[in-house]
Structure 1
Amino acid sequence: MQEAAVGSATVSSGIAGLDEVLNGGYTPHRLYLLEGVPGSGKTTMAMQFLLEGVRRGETVLYVTLSETRAELCEAAASHGWSLEGIHIHELLPMGDQLDPDSQYTMFHPSEVELGDTTQRMLEQVERLQPDRVVFDSLAEIRLLAGTLLRFRRQVLALKQYFAGRGTTVLLLDDRQGVEHGLPVHTIVHGSIELDQMRPEYGGDRRRLRVTKLRGRPFRSGNHDYVIVTGGVQVYPRLVAANFRRDGANELVGSDLPALDALLGGGLDRGTSTLLIGAAGTGKSSLASHFVIAAAKRGERSAMFLFDESPRALFTRSHGIGLDIEGCAAAGTVAVHPIDPAELSPGEFIQRIRHAVEHDNARVIVIDSLNGYINAMPEEHFVMIQLHELLAYLGQLGVVTLLINAQQGLIGHMSSSIDVSYLADTVVLLRYFETRGEVRQAMSVLKKRTGAHEHTIRELTLGADGLKVGEPLRRFRGVLTGVPHETEDTGASGSDPASAARQPAFSPATS
């Protein structure tokens, strides 16, 4: 269903991300189904739903048919919660049911137990007149009903009983086969399905999907979520079209005239730049230089590191005269180390959204795409998610720097992933050999938003920072790794050695 503005009041689920998926929350005074496999977080989400009601001064009731009060309190304590204000009613089997003399002889147990359970449950509802109710779980009622027909009639009776009572009801259920699930889905106002995946390596990953929500728009598709101390956190699927903003076109300089000349004046706001090359060619250092330039302009940046620790980043940057650590201490640069074995795509995107929308980051660095994509080998739509992420960042006028390491060092190069079609600008960095030395060269292969130099320039890294030399006009085949010197002596920057000796801020020649 397509998203749209909804004017009617909503009932918060107690989970901010789920409210965003539901376009504000649940429709009040309706019956909802929350189903999932054991361990998927149904009870935790139900508690958050009731705790939100307590926070709002509402009367709430938790009816449990499978867990004791002590078990619920223990689960709540693990999240740092107090269940004070939540009325808990246990409908567990009576202790004398294990006594052979108390067994039913004339009636099937389900005929007696279901009616007794329902009666005790409704007595509590009549006494408290709650605003929110959780039933945990339908699996027990299904067993008491005995047949699918009786089970459906029981759920339908619950719906009719609560109609007009001003109560929002959440039914928990273990996910069953189609023959068990469909009868409930047709009765309830909305249903949420919780799924749990077990990758070959790393922690379990969870996602939810709203399979039904009558009369309200919602965000369809799968949404990642995690269970942490403090409850369930939901990461809504990113839809870039929801974040369109108008902004003026603006070039962002690098604080290096020669590099800006190579880039046609700099990088455009709202564009993505792919820095591609072999390991050690200066991709991360070049990205760090743009981050420092942003800090000098008074802008904030965020760096997401898959391949190195913050300490390694600070040490490396300090060695070439870039004080990333000082900027991080000042709050202009946020460094986020990523544990690839524990990250889901939705959580990663949510971290970037927080950096942009909450911390006002204007430059985002992802180092590297290899680590990002390799962290999610079982996620089949990572590239589509990356496309949506770049579109979102572009809508908000963020400059995005993507780092992609190629395989090989000199000569034939290859890449395990091809994301060049996603980026607006592609900067190639290569090693080349000349006069007994291995040096680095860089060139701009693509820029969608304007003209750029087609030359190849030498890049040098030293204690005083990055330096970009004049175009290497006297050499042919620099990108092959073993260039040949030509007879052209009229061009400036006659060889790599002379280019390296020139001032770092010399005027560029096109």
Structure 2
Amino acid sequence: MSELGPGTAPAIGTRVSTGIAGLDDILGGGLTSSRLYLLEGTPGTGKTTLALHFLREGHDRGERTLYVTLSETADELTAAAATHGWSLDGIEVYELVNDLGLDPDSEQSILHPSEIELGETVTEVIARVEAVKPARVVFDSLSELRLLAQSPLRYRRQILALKQFFAKRACTVLMLDDRTSETGDVQLHSIAHGVISLDQAPREFGAERRRLRIVKMRGIKFRGGFHDLSIETGGIQVFPRLIAAEHRADFDSRGKSTGSPELDLLLGGGLVPGTNTLLIGPSGVGKTTTGIACMLAALERGETATYYLFDEGLATLLARAVMLGMDLAPHMEAGRLTITQIDPAELSPGEFAAMVRSAVEERGSTFVGVDSLNAYLHAMPGEEFLVLQMHELLSYLNQKGVTTLLVLGQHGILGEVRSDVDLSYLSDCIVLFRFFEAKGEVRTALSVVKSRVNAHERTIRELRLGAGGLRVGEALSDFEGVLTGLPAYHGRVAMLSGASALKVE
């Protein structure tokens, strides 16, 4: 227990920060002061950590803070805080279960939730608040108080009494509940000024998915729905659900070169800022290399780029790029390029969206690549959520004037191919890659099948990869069957040779 300074309580009705930037954003500026809030969630969802954020923020602002615990000891709370590198110095911790309860001269025999009276417990809490005069209070937890009450009516009356008491003393209160009641505490929802719900969902593989939802919040506009969160060393990070309509920017929408004149012609003038392009085709057909080549052209123009790598290893990508004459290391060293390798089993969609926002708004990235959407799909609980999340993310990037490249692998090499998910309607431009056989050799064809912004070519061209990077050949006028999954070439147009593929135009 630490010595407290004089402290200053915020004016009644003003907003107070929760200590978590993402949660404050969801609430539109924080909690309304001098109100009672319910923080509910099953054990392990992060209630105590969030409560400590709340109290530490108050202490940093010069406010008196009080943590009342019926379930954890002060040593346990101190140890929990230490795991995040925090100290509880300046935060008053009052435990109703302590050594004094074992003293025969104590007013209570043994301060155990099942053996003390509810009224006496509430009286002790009130006395402690009167002595400390805190601006922020955490009460942990209501499950013990519910057991002491033994009847819903008595329990509700005591909560109402506490609410009235705290309101008269300008206290902002978080009451923690672990949802141990069989029917849920709906009546408590009606008493509390606001309700914040935490939950976690285990997955068959990878980390559990943690989420936060504002069930109710009187008098303020908040962002509804579920918001992903993570608990790491250092505390909780909340990732507000992305709403694209909140983010708009002015930008130059003139097309920019991909670095290949033939590919620019195929696209109808290059890649347009504020649009997204889907590179789709079977594995090994050249999607990633084409994306890297387009990104390299942007970097050489002086743009800043971010590339998210879900499938391939970073070292493998960099080595292959060098082999193809596309050295990315100088741009990474100069800080213009950031390549982030993602483990989809450990990442939530909300966290990924926050990473993209940070790249655009903090690092100034104007080119973003996602490679590939197949792995991103496995980070989602279901296909419908992937489409909704990706729709908001792509709309956000488009409104920020970012050039976005998406890589989507298809199942199958030759013949019938299929995709995990159909994102064609979300894409502004689609570049289709296919293998085909000619003169005893497996080759690659590409065509643009959709563009919302350019009058693109409807021809099919050959793609060849070599030490000079990528090369796009002339239109193959007699190339048939590419859209059936069984393309065949019967024409007389010269194919790209291996030697010519090594030349850089």
TM-score surpassing 0.5? yes
Alignment counterpart, residue 369 of structure 2, candidates 365, 379, 389: 365
> Residue deviations 1:65-115, cap 9 Å, x none?
11111000000111100110101111116766799xx999xxxx9896222
Partners of 1:39 and 1:98 in 2: CA distance: 33
Q: Secondary structure at the match of 1:133?
A: strand
Q: Are the equivalent residues in 1 in contact too, given 2:200–2:210 (CA < 8 A)?
A: yes
Query: 1:413 offset after TM fit, Å?
Result: 2.0
Residue 300 of structure 2 is matched in structure 1 by: 296
Residue 5 of structure 1 is matched in structure 2 by: none
Amino acid at match of 1:495: A
Q: Are the equivalent residues in 2 in contact too, given 1:35–1:172 (CA < 8 A)?
A: yes
Q: Does 1:21 align with 2:26?
A: yes
Partners of 2:86 and 2:308 in 1: CA distance: 32
> Residue deviations 1:126-171, cap 9 Å, x none?
1121111111111111111111111111110011112232211111
- CA distance 1:257–1:484, change in 2 (3 Å): closer
Alignment counterpart, residue 310 of structure 2, candidates 301, 306, 309: 306
Query: 1:301 offset after TM fit, Å?
Result: 0.9
Residue 61 of structure 1 is matched in structure 2 by: 66
Alignment counterpart, residue 315 of structure 1, candidates 311, 315, 319: 319
Query: Where does 1:323-338 land on structure 2 (aligned, <5 Å)?
Result: 323-338=327-342
Q: Are the equivalent residues in 1 in contact too, given 2:84–2:235 (CA < 8 A)?
A: yes
Q: Where in structure 1 are there 5+ consecutive unaligned residues?
A: 1-7
Q: Secondary structure at the match of 1:340?
A: coil
Partners of 2:481 and 2:119 in 1: CA distance: 86
Identity, % of aligned pairs? Answer: 52
Residue 81 of structure 2 is matched in structure 1 by: 76
Q: Are the equivalent residues in 1 in contact too, given 2:309–2:340 (CA < 8 A)?
A: yes
Query: Where does 1:14-413 land on structure 2 (aligned, <5 Å)?
Result: 14-92=19-97, 113-177=117-181, 179-378=183-382, 380-413=384-417
Q: Secondary structure at the match of 2:117?
A: helix
Q: Are the equivalent residues in 2 in contact too, given 1:424–1:447 (CA < 8 A)?
A: yes
Partners of 2:181 and 2:121 in 1: CA distance: 25
Q: Secondary structure at the match of 1:381?
A: helix
Partners of 1:21 and 1:469 in 2: CA distance: 51
Instruction: State the Cα RMSD in Å.
Output: 2.4
Alignment counterpart, residue 436 of structure 2, candidates 412, 432, 437: 432
Q: Are the equivalent residues in 2 in contact too, given 1:277–1:429 (CA < 8 A)?
A: yes
Residue 4 of structure 1 is matched in structure 2 by: none
Q: Secondary structure at the match of 2:16?
A: coil
Partners of 1:369 and 1:378 in 2: CA distance: 13
Amino acid at match of 2:494: D
Q: Are the equivalent residues in 2 in contact too, given 1:434–1:482 (CA < 8 A)?
A: no
Amino acid at match of 2:74: R
Corresponding residue pairs, total: 488
Q: Does 1:496 align with 2:487?
A: no
Q: Are the equivalent residues in 2 in contact too, given 1:273–1:402 (CA < 8 A)?
A: yes
Partners of 1:453 and 1:103 in 2: CA distance: 85
Q: Secondary structure at the match of 2:470?
A: strand
Amino acid at match of 1:50: L
Q: Secondary structure at the match of 1:413?
A: coil
Query: Where does 1:431-510 land on structure 2 (aligned, <5 Å)?
Result: 431-477=435-481, 480-486=485-491, 494-497=493-496, 501=500
Greater alpha carbon shift after TM alignment, 172-181 vs 73-82 = 172-181
Q: Are the equivalent residues in 2 in contact too, given 1:474–1:495 (CA < 8 A)?
A: no
- CA distance 1:215–1:422, change in 2 (3 Å): same
Amino acid at match of 1:454: R
Q: TM-score, normalised by structure 1?
A: 0.91
Partners of 2:413 and 2:456 in 1: CA distance: 26
Partners of 1:114 and 1:364 in 2: CA distance: 58
Amino acid at match of 1:389: L
- CA distance 1:434–1:110, change in 2 (3 Å): closer
Partners of 1:468 and 1:71 in 2: CA distance: 65
Partners of 2:437 and 2:407 in 1: CA distance: 23
- CA distance 1:180–1:471, change in 2 (3 Å): closer
Q: Are the equivalent residues in 2 in contact too, given 1:305–1:368 (CA < 8 A)?
A: yes
Amino acid at match of 1:244: R
Q: Secondary structure at the match of 1:175?
A: coil
Amino acid at match of 2:60: R
Amino acid at match of 1:14: G
Q: Are the equivalent residues in 1 in contact too, given 2:469–2:504 (CA < 8 A)?
A: no
Q: Are the equivalent residues in 2 in contact too, given 1:134–1:171 (CA < 8 A)?
A: yes
- CA distance 1:129–1:339, change in 2 (3 Å): same
Q: Where in structure 2 are there 5+ consecutive unaligned residues?
A: 1-12
> Residue deviations 1:303-358, cap 9 Å, x none?
11110111111011111111123322221111111111111111111111111111
Q: Are the equivalent residues in 1 in contact too, given 2:345–2:378 (CA < 8 A)?
A: no
Amino acid at match of 2:187: P
